[in-house]
Structure 1
Amino acid sequence: MTTARPSTVTSLHVRSGRLVELVLVLFAIGIVALAYVNVGMATRDALPTDVWWHVGIFAAFPLALHGVLRWRARYADPLLLPLATLLNGLGLVMIHRIDVARGLGATEGVASRQLMWTGLAVAMAAATLVVVRDHRVLRRYTFTAMAVGFVLLLLPMLPVVGQEINGSRLWVRVGPLSLQPGELAKIALTIFFAGYLVSTRDALSLVGRRFLGLQLPRARDLGPILVAWGLSVLILVLQRDLGSSLLFFGLFVAVLYVATERTSWIVIGMALFVAGAVLAWQLFGHVQQRVTLWLDPFAAGQSDQVAKGLMGLAHGGIFGTGLGEGYPTITYFPASDYIVASFGEELGMIGLFGILVLYGLLVERGLRTAIGAREGFGKLLAAGMSFTVALQVFVIVGGITRVIPLTGLTTPFLSSGGSSLLANWVIVALLLRISDHARRPVSERRQDPTKDLAHPREVAR
């Protein structure tokens, strides 16, 4: 008679990471509070009397979102919220510092309005986490997202609500509010790109002929990238916005490469971009002006915007003048388009590198989420959202430092403006939702509402 050995059952315990997230959020709030106090001591030689009021209201927003994550997405990435909190808080501090330099009080200053937009943006992120219980549901609305994205891009062209500012027609004014629909359009178009490419990537990646070591696609498979290129050129022509044109086309090419893993799409995309850039430079005067300022920011008879930004960065040097000790208001749009130059002057090259590292970590966590996603749509959506932030930071920082011609994009989380905050906090919420699904134990995973995993090929990927 043999005795059966008792079987050992082991289970893998997955830590939610919420305690780490809470500690890092509190650390980020502490850095923001110290920066706020530093501005007050440098500009007024006294501790700001409203420091606890401003910091307390700001602190309530990420802590409330942390509570929502514990409730609805407790396995989400624990670093995304602290990184977004710190970037948003540093932006509020610099905007407040510029208000002080301009002699603006709390009621008429931009910082109070930006704090209000921060609350609305975080509330929108929380609503996204509550409503979108599973990111795969968004795949059902692939072509709806495309239609919404196109409508949002075309809204500024309407004669009544559209508004032109500084030569670019990017804004929509509704009563006292002025919004930039293109910021929200990038989310809708990313959902469309992810949903479309996850269905067609086999044809785009496996079919074609090889030429000079590259597997070139069939002529009819070039349709999607040609449409994306045409849309970017249309934005450039109608809205006179070089930055958004570069952002949308670069986003599509990046997601297309992730979906197909074919270098040929990168080569084709770069060739189309160079062709479009040369054509725009020959046909449009505002593009020629941007290129002239890029080549020679001190050219006579041209705008001195780029030159003043470079002088502000040079004034900051390696270590910066210190918060509250510089002259950021000399630069045009120091709280919006040129807030990176404002940070570069007062925090120096080291401080600016630190901010870029925060963006790099945010993008890295997004790409890690894409790698960990269990299905194709989540991979492409997370990668697209991450590339959106990365490309936007590259375009604006590259323009200010003369790596590329200057464009009018806002710096995510830092620049003043409600539309940008709303869009970027929703991007963080979607990344949190995808990471929650990727890190969640199998025993707690919900059934796939879109039946993506019913396809063996999708499971293999």
Structure 2
Amino acid sequence: MTSAPPVHAPPAAPPKSAGRKTEAVLLSFAVFVVFAALLIVQAAQGQTLSWDLAKYLAAFIALFGVAHVAVRLFAPFADPILLPCVALLNGLGLVMIHRLDLGSSRSDELVKSDSVTHNADQQLLWAFLGIIAFCLTLAFIRDHRTLSRYAYTLGISGIIFLAIPAILPASMAEVNGSRNWIRLPGFSIQPGEFAKILIIIFTAAFLVSRRDLFTTAGKQFAGIDFPRLRDLGPLLAAWVIAIGVLALENDLGTPLLIFATVLTMLYIATSRVSWLMLGVTMFALGATVAYQLFEHLRIRVAIWNDPFAQYDTYGYQIAQSLFGFATGGMFGTGLGSGRPNIVPFANTDFILTSFGEELGLVGLGAILMLYLVVTMRGLRTAVAVRDSFGKLLAAGLSFTIIFQVFVVFGGVSKLIPLTGLTTPFLAYGGSSLLANYILLALLLRISNAAREPDSPRPRQAPPVDAMSTQVVRRP
């Protein structure tokens, strides 16, 4: 007579909220830092506690409370560090924009009386829209690999987004000399912010599907295997798009960001230094030709070379930025105690200068460390996720964040020429904030796939012939 096999309980599944308690604690810390910063700004500006302060704090708590719940529901195993870091960056940006609004009404900050701003309210609205986009992205994209099915559609859409401002009239597309906007009555958008995400998705899918093609060795020169000419299509396409955007739209930042990201993803996919060498050579060649053809590029290089030679005109902005950094020194003047409004576009392109003046090198270094943490966690996700498409997509999204910060900080500190890019999550601007929250949601989706434990397989009963037998005697 056969005896029944012993019944073993299946291993307990890990809790669905793995890492979410850590995320909640870190979000609480971000709320505390933002609240303290708002109080310091109010006191330094001689303002009393007002409903505006309570409004900003309540809205900040509500927005990231909703974002936290969305992560719990749709990506319970995602990295618990990413959202709190972004929340702190977004909150500090809101504090600085509010501080600049308060300073816009002070004559001692050399701002005209008719230029009083209320940009913090608008930034709060854009943050609300960004969190909605974040939640919708997590809810509808349940598996990042599905994006690869629409790679060509997304890639073409990205190119169309880049091309639209070039064909619009200047009155509907041009801002500060660059044609990279779509301006309609009561509404404006910068399509390049969304195009970069679409092109990254396309590039990741294309490189995965054609990886063997790009790793095929071509001719060898100086001990390095260079790719065959017919395999240079993606790099040439990215280069042509970058030069086209630069020529037609007078925009230096977007083509630089797209070309550098595609080149980096190509290197990650192939691990071949020859791609980097070719990319850098093509960039140097394109930059040289563009310098000869486009006057606005020559002006930016001249400003970068010596901003004080044109202090009264083109060089005023970067010169004041350098003065702001010098005023801030090591520890800054204190939140609300500087004069950052002297620098034009202090809440957008030059918001890092505002932080550098009032928080000093230490505070600015802390902000840059937050970006570094976001990037490192994103790259860690790229290493951990199992599928090649997810690896390239996470690496491309992470790189575009840190490269954008490098380009912005390099421009305001005179390390490289100004490009016109905005600082992710920190600077005033709706298109940038909305696009970067979508980017964050994609990173969290990939992180969830990388950290999600394998589902326990159902325990199957052994076949009959493998069961143990036992002799039973009748009484």
Who is 1:51 aligned against? 53
Whole-angstrom distance in 1 between the partners of 2:117 and 2:25: 34
Q: CA deviation at 1:54?
A: 1.2
What amino acid sits opposite 2:391 in the alignment? K
Q: What is the alpha-carbon distance in structure 2 between the residues aligned to residue 143 and residue 419 of structure 1?
A: 23
Residue 214 of structure 2 corresponds to residue 196 of structure 1: no
Give the counterpart letter for 1:198 in structure 2.
Answer: V
- The offset of 1:205, in angstroms, is 1.5
Deviation, structure 1 residue 6: 10
Alignment of 1:285-364 (within 5 A): 285-300=295-310, 302-364=314-376
Match of 1:152 in 2: 161
Aligned with 1:38 (options 28, 37, 40): 40
Pairs aligned (count):
442
Structure with the greater alpha carbon radius of gyration: 2
- Percentage of identical aligned residues: 47
Establish whether residue 211 from structure 1 lines up as the match of residue 221 from structure 2: yes
DSSP 3-state at the match of 1:318? coil
Match of 1:102 in 2: 104
What does the per-residue CA deviation read over 1:187-243, in whole Å, with 9 as the maximum and x for residues that have no partner? 100100001001111111133232212110011001210111011000100011111
Distance 1:8 1:57, change over 3 A: closer
With over 3 angstroms needed to count, the CA separation of the structure-2 counterparts of 1:444 and 1:158, relative to structure 1, is farther
1:144–1:345: structure 2 CA closer, same or farther, 3 Å change rule? same
Task: Give the 3-state SS of the residue equivalent to 2:260 in structure 1.
Answer: helix
Q: Deviations over 1:334-366 (max 9, x none)?
A: 000100100000000110000000000000011
What's the TM-score, normalizing by structure 1? 0.92
Distance in 2 of aligned mates of 1:62 and 1:444: 33
Q: Secondary structure at the match of 2:455?
A: helix
1:93 to 88, 95, 100: 95
Residue 182 of structure 2 aligns to a residue whose secondary structure is: strand
- 5+ residue gaps in structure 1? 446-461
- The answer to whether residue 397 in structure 2 is matched with residue 395 in structure 1 is no
Using the TM superposition, name which of 158-167 and 19-28 deviates more: 158-167
User: Matched residue of 1:443: which SS?
Assistant: coil
Whole-angstrom distance in 2 between the partners of 1:418 and 1:45: 27
Structure 2's unaligned 5+ residue stretches are 106-112, 458-475
Cα distance, 1:117–1:45 mapped onto 2, change above 3 Å: closer
> Does the alignment pair 1:443 with 2:460?
no
1:289-340: CA deviation from partner (whole Å, max 9, x where unpaired): 1111111111146431111111111110000000000001100100001001
* Number of the residue aligned with 1:456: none
- The amino acid that maps onto 2:164 is L
Task: Quote the RMSD (CA, aligned, Å).
Answer: 2.1
Q: Distance in 2 between matches of 1:423 and 1:270?
A: 28
Verify: 1:18 aligned to 2:27, yes or no: no
Contact preservation (8 Å) 1:155, 1:162: no
In the TM superposition, what is the alpha-carbon distance from 1:7 to its structure 2 partner?
8.9
Shift in Å, 1:9: 8.0
Amino acid at match of 2:151: T
Inter-partner Cα distance in structure 2 for 1:9 and 1:263: 48
SS of the aligned residue for 1:39 comes to helix
Question: Distance in 2 between the 1:195 and 1:230 partners?
Answer: 20
Q: Is the 8 A contact 1:162 1:170 kept in 2?
A: no
Contact 1:258 1:380 in 2 (8 A): yes
State which of 270, 274, 277 in structure 1 corresponds to 2:287: 277
In the TM superposition, residue 131 of structure 1 has moved relative to its aligned partner by: 0.3
Q: Aligned partners of 1:138, 1:195: CA distance in 2, in Å?
A: 8
Answer whether contact 1:399 1:406 (CA < 8 A) is retained.
Answer: yes
For 1:442, what is the secondary structure of its paired residue? Answer: coil
What is the DSSP-based 3-state SS (H/G/I as helix, E as strand, rest coil) of the residue aligned with 1:178?
Answer: strand
- Structure 1 residue 30, shift from structure 2 partner: 1.0
1:178 aligned to 2:188?
A: yes
Taking the aligned partners of 2:340 and 2:164, their CA distance within structure 1 comes to 33
Contact 2:104 2:117 in 1 (8 A): no
Give, in whole Å, the separation in 1 of the partners of 2:150 and 2:193.
Answer: 19
Q: Deviations over 1:13-43 (max 9, x none)?
A: 5771000001001111110111011100000
Map of 1:372 onto structure 2: 384
Q: Which deviations, in whole Å up to 9, do the C-alpha atoms of 1:143-164 show, x marking residues without a partner?
A: 0011110111012123358321
Question: 1:363 and 1:354 mapped to 2: Cα distance?
Answer: 14
Following the alignment from structure 1 to structure 2, what is the Cα–Cα distance between the partners of residues 226 and 126?
A: 36
Report the counterpart of residue 266 of structure 2 in structure 1.
256
Contact 1:37 1:48 in 2 (8 A): no
**Cα 1:42–1:444, aligned 2, differ >3 Å: closer, same or farther?**
farther
Q: Which residue does 2:133 correspond to in 1?
A: 124
Q: Does the 8 Å contact 2:172/2:184 carry over to 1?
A: no
Query: How far has the Cα of 1:244 moved from its partner?
Result: 0.9
Q: Residue 202 of structure 1 aligns to which amino acid in structure 2?
A: D
- 3-state SS of paired residue (1:298): helix
Q: For residue 411 of structure 1, what is the aligned residue in structure 2?
A: 423
Partner of 1:426: 438
Contact residue 41 and residue 48 of structure 1 kept, 8 A: no
Work out whether residues 13 and 456 of structure 2, in 8 Å CA contact, stay in contact via their aligned partners in 1. no
Counterpart of 2:124 in structure 1 is 115
Between the aligned partners of 1:67 and 1:202, the Cα distance in structure 2 is 42
Counterparts of 2:97 and 2:325, CA distance in 1: 17
Matched residue, 1:448: none
What amino acid is the match of 2:447? S
Query: Structure 1 CA distance, aligned partners of 2:323 and 2:357?
Result: 9
Q: Is the 8 A contact 2:182 2:191 kept in 1?
A: yes
Task: Check whether the contact 1:393–1:411 (CA below 8 A) recurs between aligned residues.
Answer: yes
